Amino acid sequence: MSEYERDSLHRQIMRTQGQLATYSGYDDDGLLSWQRSLASGSAPVLPGQRPARQGCVTSRDYYWNNHGEVGTIDDGLRGSVVYSYDRSGYLTGRSGQMYDHDRYYYDKAGNLLDNEGQGAVMNNRLPGCGRDRYGYNEWGELTTRRDQQLEWNAQGQLTRVISGNTETHYGYDALGRRIRKATYGRHTGHTARSRTDFVWEGFRLLQENVQQQGWRTYLYDAEQPYTPVASVTGKGESRQVWYYHTDVTGTPQEVTAADGTLVWAGYIRGFGENAADISNSGAYFHQPLRLPGQYFDDETGLHYNLFRYYAPECGRFVSQDPIGLKGGLNLYAYAPNPIRWIDPLGLAILEHQSNFDAARRTGFENAGMTNPEDVTFSKVDPKTGTVVEFKGPNGAKVAYDAPHADMDVTAGHDKPHVGWQSAGKRGSGGANRGNITYDGPQHPHRSDSKGDDKC
Q: What is the pLDDT of residues 280-322, one digit of tens each?
A: 666 788 999 999 999 999 999 999 999 999 999 999 999 999 9
**Separation between Cα atoms, residue 347 and residue 324, nearest integer Å:** 9
Predicted pLDDT at 80: 94
Predicted pLDDT at 428: 43
Predicted pLDDT at 425: 62
Query: Range with the lowest mean pLDDT among 114-123, 196-205, 379-388?
Result: 114-123
**Separation between Cα atoms, residue 243 and residue 69, nearest integer Å:** 27
The CA-CA-CA angle for residues 32, 50, 78, to 5°, reads 70
Burial class (CB in 10 A: 0-12, 13-18, 19+), 154: exposed
Q: What is the average pLDDT value for the chain, to the nearest integer?
A: 89
In this structure, the number of other CB atoms found within 10 A of the CB of residue 381 comes to 18
* Listed residue (73, 49, 46, 51) closest to 62, CA to CA: 73
Structural contact between residues 74 and 60, judged by C-beta atoms closer than 8 angstroms: yes
Structural contact between residues 415 and 439, judged by C-beta atoms closer than 8 angstroms: no
Does the pLDDT value for residue 76 go beyond 50?
yes
Does the pLDDT value for residue 454 go beyond 70?
no
**Separation between Cα atoms, residue 131 and residue 142, nearest integer Å:** 16
CB neighbour burial string for 50-72, b if at least 16 within 10 angstroms, e if fewer: ebeeeebbbbbbbbbeeebbbee
Going from the C-alpha of 92 to that of each of 69, 105, 108, the distances in angstroms are 12, 7, 14
**Separation between Cα atoms, residue 414 and residue 435, nearest integer Å:** 11
Predicted pLDDT at 282: 64
Looking only at the bridges linking them, the beta strands covering 238-246 and 228-235 are: antiparallel
Does the pLDDT value for residue 349 go beyond 90?
no
Predicted pLDDT at 81: 94
More confident position, 359 or 405: 359
Outline where 368-440 has alpha helix (H). Answer: none
E strand segments, 364-404: 376-380, 387-391, 397-401
Predicted pLDDT at 441: 80
Predicted pLDDT at 200: 98
Predicted pLDDT at 116: 82
Predicted pLDDT at 397: 94
Q: How confident is the model at residue 14 (pLDDT cuts 50, 70, 90)?
A: very high
Side chain identity, residue 103: R
Predicted pLDDT at 405: 59
**Separation between Cα atoms, residue 10 and residue 448, nearest integer Å:** 26
Q: Cα Rg for the chain, rounded, in angstroms?
A: 22
The β-bridge partners of 400 are 418
The β-bridge partners of 389 are 379, 399
The β-bridge partners of 114 are none
Residues 6+ apart with CB under 8 A from 102: 93, 94, 95, 269, 270
Query: Range with the lowest mean pLDDT among 165-174, 337-346, 384-393?
Result: 337-346
Predicted pLDDT at 429: 43
The predicted model gives 238-245 an average pLDDT of: 96
Query: Range with the lowest mean pLDDT among 133-142, 198-207, 294-303, 429-438?
Result: 429-438
Predicted pLDDT at 328: 77
pLDDT digit string, tens, across residues 390-443 = 999 998 999 999 887 554 555 667 788 999 988 876 444 456 778 888 877 888
pLDDT digit string, tens, across residues 21-68 = 999 999 988 889 999 999 977 777 877 789 889 889 999 999 999 888
Positive or negative, the CA dihedral 116, 119, 125, 127 is: negative
Predicted pLDDT at 41: 73
